[in-house]
Amino acid sequence: MLICLPDVLDKAEVAEIRGLMDAASWEDGRSTAGAQSALVKRNEQLPPNGELARRLGARIVSTLLGNPLFVSAAIPLQIFPPLFNRYGAGHHFGIHVDNAVRGDPATGLRIRTDLSVTLFLAEPEEYDGGELIVEGQYGSQEVKLPAGHLVLYPASSLHMVTPVTRGTRVASFFWLQSMIRSGEARSLIYDLDTAIQALVPDLGRDHAEIVKLTGIYHNLIRTWAEV
């Protein structure tokens, strides 16, 4: 399941983050790629263990954990410290699949990568190309979102970033391990939660059927959660 979430960061937050990133030193993006990915990856990234990347990453994680839609879609157990990349003209990331397990040497954190996350930090009109292409059960999906918007998709998916031909594509990217390992189960829980939230304005949170559906929601999580 691929889910796009709007306005995770507002424009002022994006501008502040971009200002800090634009003034920083960058390195070859292949430094954090696996053996296969390194063959097809051409971009730059903030040094992942640098103070700026860690500070901005912690800020993004804190914001996401306060976002009900993100929590509903991901049901996160562990979030890998966010990384930051940029693609200039000629940069791209060919078709690949993300590593099944990611480790953070700085903290010792190791996670199973259930979901990949891209948080866009450049407006679509700032660059040409640079679309995120995700291969799924029903074909390819193309994603190019406004700055501050985010996409979650299965880390098991083949995906790529098309070549940038003008301007600069800037984003944060990372992975998470969900409490719900099964993508199908996670999708059902998300659909149930969003349906409940859509009914609440008309029925009220204390309506008997809302209470019953909420109980089903939590009992499904209780059945499938790994913590």
Indicate the SS3 state at residue 183. helix
Q: Specify the CATH number for the domain of residue 82.
A: 2.60.120.620
Same domain, 159 and 143: yes
Confidence of residue 122 (pLDDT cuts 50, 70, 90): very high
Same domain, 174 and 190: no
Contacts of 69 (CB under 8 A, 6+ apart): 5
Look at 20-29, 52-61, 140-149, 212-221 and tell me which has the smallest mean pLDDT: 20-29
pLDDT of residue 33: 64
Closest to 194 measured CA to CA, from 217, 223, 219: 217
pLDDT of residue 29: 82
Same domain, 164 and 192: no
Same domain, 112 and 220: no
Give the domain-ending residue among 142, 158, 178.
Answer: 178
pLDDT tens, residue by residue, 88-119: 999 999 999 999 999 999 899 999 999 999 99
Same domain, 100 and 210: no
pLDDT of residue 137: 81
The average pLDDT across 143-152 equals 98
- DSSP per-residue letters across 120-134: E-S-GGGEEE--EEE
Same domain, 64 and 105: yes
Contacts of 125 (CB under 8 A, 6+ apart): none
Closest to 210 measured CA to CA, from 188, 185, 193: 193
Note down the domain range covering 33.
3-178
Indicate the SS3 state at residue 109. strand
pLDDT of residue 34: 64
Same domain, 68 and 137: yes
pLDDT of residue 81: 97
Residue type, 46: L
Same domain, 104 and 209: no
pLDDT of residue 82: 97
pLDDT of residue 22: 93
- DSSP per-residue letters across 22-37: HTS--EEGGGG--HHH
pLDDT of residue 39: 74
Same domain, 122 and 89: yes
The answer, yes or no, to whether residue 197 has pLDDT greater than 90, is yes
Confidence of residue 72 (pLDDT cuts 50, 70, 90): very high
Give the domain-ending residue among 160, 178, 196.
Answer: 178
The average pLDDT across 198-222 equals 96
Average pLDDT, the chain: 95
pLDDT of residue 41: 86
The answer, yes or no, to whether residue 10 has pLDDT greater than 70, is yes
Q: How many structural domains are present in the chain? A: 2
- Bridging pattern class, strands 127-129 and 164-167: antiparallel
Same domain, 103 and 135: yes
Same domain, 33 and 129: yes
Contacts of 114 (CB under 8 A, 6+ apart): 154, 155, 175, 176, 177, 178, 181, 183, 186
The answer, yes or no, to whether residue 31 has pLDDT greater than 80, is no
Same domain, 196 and 107: no
